[in-house]
Amino acid sequence: ADVPLTDFLLQRWPSFFSTSSVARRTVARGRVWMAEEVVQSGAPGAELGPLRQAWWSESIKGKTILFVPDYPRRSPHETKLVVLWEDDHLAVVVKEPGLRLFGGIRTLANMLAAKEEGASLHPSKEEDALPAPVPLHFLEAEIGGCVLVAKTARAALQGLSSPSRCFQGLFVTGGVLWDEAKLLAATGWTLRRMEPSVRFGHLLAAERGAAEHSAAALRCSAAELAAANGAPALLGDVEFGGEEAPRIRRNQLFLVVSRWHLRQARSQIAAAQERDFLFADNLEPHATRRNLGLGREEGDPESTPRSTAKTAQEITKLMGPEWRTKYLVAATVALQITLACFAKSWSFWTFLAGGDVFFFVGF
């Protein structure tokens, strides 16, 4: 059955779409994309076609939706962003410990949305460029490390699989010197470096992979092993190590993601699985009132649908009310105030007459 896109978004992601109006505004900001599944003869499965922007008046029918959240909207944070590598599709940036991905003013999402010269990523020139780059995987607020960022909708769709991560942390060993074999057997951590410390005796830098474990589970396991086997305590881990855990700075955990491996997502996406970045199936193509790459070339009825070359240009126009509407309202109010000054009457009928005269003369 055909279900409107707004109803589908309300049911699929109720925490992001509380009302139909919110859903329509989010779609208009260019945060919802879609791709058709193309079945080729002789091919074992369906492949995703080109991505294009969705429109709120569509109905869903067996297609794929890509939803790229923005929280909060229009709140860029002008801060120097450390960029390790970037191209027109992807980028790798550094997230400091204590910096959240979303949900505040000083967040990585707002830093990516900033347009300050020399302090942000270079804008993508691709047809499916997003209004603002988005992180492709989750990283806990207390943990620092590298974050893969998508600039285009295609890159965001291909980066849906969660990466396997390798953590590196600082441990306090006191006056005990640990060898690598004993540390690996007791805790699963691999010794990378050990240095003497005036305050703590010795500090040890060690790594451990956590492909299927969250950072919280990793910290909990380290604290249990520290209590049971006398293993070194993680520096700054007050939550799992207790109030007496060694620390240098307040509420800073000395744990970073040193390496991660991102598995390439398949072209055919399963709808039942939950991903770090939100997507769903069931959407069919349509014709929008803005011709966002969905019409056909003039004079050629047999031509293929237009490419999404105008999509990136239309995104800025979809960010709010039309500029003509803004100027029309401003001119109407100005004329009403002018007529009220000449008539020396501020009654409701004077304002109403001013608006009627403006629309009658303008149209």
Q: Are residues 187 and 253 in the same domain?
A: yes
How many angstroms separate the first and last alpha carbons of the chain?
Answer: 42
126, 144, 163 — which closes off a domain? 163
Per-residue confidence (pLDDT) for residue 270, from 0 to 100: 30
User: Is residue 248 in some structural domain?
Assistant: yes
Whose structure tokens read 């470096």?
Answer: 193
User: Is residue 19 in some structural domain?
Assistant: yes
Q: Are residues 182 and 195 in the same domain?
A: yes
Q: Are residues 274 and 230 in the same domain?
A: no
User: Is residue 191 in some structural domain?
Assistant: yes
Per-residue confidence (pLDDT) for residue 119, from 0 to 100: 59
User: Is residue 203 in some structural domain?
Assistant: yes
pLDDT of 301 strictly over 50: no
- pTM for the full model? 0.55
Rounded CA separation 81/114 (Å): 10
Provide the pairing of β-strand 255-261 with 144-152.
Answer: parallel
Tell me how far CA of residue 316 lies from CA of 79, 154, 287, in angstroms.
23, 19, 20
Per-residue confidence (pLDDT) for residue 302, from 0 to 100: 40
Where are the alpha helices (H) located in the chain, listed in sequence order?
Answer: 5-12, 20-28, 108-113, 153-158, 180-187, 215-229, 238-241, 311-317, 323-343, 348-362
**Segment 189-204 mean pLDDT:** 78
Q: Are residues 240 and 282 in the same domain?
A: no
Quick: pLDDT tens for 117-151. 555 788 888 888 887 888 887 787 778 888 888 88
163, 179, 201 — which closes off a domain? 163
Q: How many domains does the chain have?
A: 4
User: Is residue 77 in some structural domain?
Assistant: no
User: Is residue 285 in some structural domain?
Assistant: yes
Residue 224 sits in a domain whose CATH number is 3.30.70
**Segment 164-188 mean pLDDT:** 68
- How long a stretch of residues is the chain? 363
Contact 132, 70 (CB under 8 A): yes
Rounded CA separation 105/332 (Å): 36
Q: Are residues 172 and 148 in the same domain?
A: no
Rounded CA separation 221/47 (Å): 42
Per-residue confidence (pLDDT) for residue 70, from 0 to 100: 67
Q: Are residues 57 and 21 in the same domain?
A: yes
User: Is residue 10 in some structural domain?
Assistant: yes
User: Is residue 289 in some structural domain?
Assistant: yes
Q: Are residues 169 and 159 in the same domain?
A: no
Q: Are residues 116 and 194 in the same domain?
A: no
Contact 169, 257 (CB under 8 A): no
Q: Are residues 56 and 17 in the same domain?
A: yes
Per-residue confidence (pLDDT) for residue 76, from 0 to 100: 65
Task: Find the domain containing 309 and state its range.
Answer: 3-71+268-317
Helix axes 215-229, 180-187, angle to 10 degrees: 110
Range with lowest mean pLDDT among 216-225, 272-281, 338-347, 352-361: 272-281
240, 259, 278 — which closes off a domain? 259
Q: Are residues 169 and 210 in the same domain?
A: yes
